[in-house]
Amino acid sequence: MKEYRELGFKLTPQRIAILDYLKNNTEHPSAEDVYRSVLKKYPTISFATVYSTLETIRKKGGLLELTIDPAKKRFDPDTSPHHHLMCTKCKRIVDINGVFDLQISADKQEGFELTGNHVEFYGICPVCKNKAL
């Protein structure tokens, strides 16, 4: 509960349920995924409440917004530097930890001061690969 208070917003039971769902979640859920899960415990919760709570957590630095899946926005509670790999068939996303030494020559940086990177990998997961056989 203490780590939730550090986010600096009112902790309603619905918000706590959303935070509990996200805690240690490695599935990279969409707002719809979070909504469906929390709805089981709080049948009167609205999608707007879930979405606005996710956006508030993201703005406060407690959640990353992923754009790897063009079909829907996904969220990642792991805010440490890491990369992602997505199955192009089932859309499952997994974390890739590690440093990739990517260099951009000064003439291509267009005056930017580089502060980090995020690499997205795409492929076919073992489950989808086995289904195709």
Q: Could you tell me where in the chain the CATH 1.10.10.10 domains are found?
A: 2-76
**Mean pLDDT confidence for 109-127:** 91
Does the pLDDT of residue 84 top 90, yes or no?
A: yes
Mean pLDDT of 69-88: 93
CATH 3.30.1490.190 in the chain is located at: 83-132
> Which CATH class for the 2-76 domain?
mainly alpha
Q: State yes or no: pLDDT of 1 exceeds 60.
A: no
pLDDT tens per residue across span 37-52: 999 999 999 999 999 9
83-132: which CATH topology?
Dna Ligase; domain 1 (3.30.1490)
Q: What pLDDT digit, counting tens, does each position of 12-69 carry?
A: 999 999 999 999 999 999 999 999 999 999 999 999 999 999 999 999 888 999 989 8
Q: Is the pLDDT of residue 123 over 80?
A: yes
**pTM (predicted TM-score):** 0.83
Pairing mode, strands 83-87 and 120-123: parallel
Res 2: pLDDT: 62
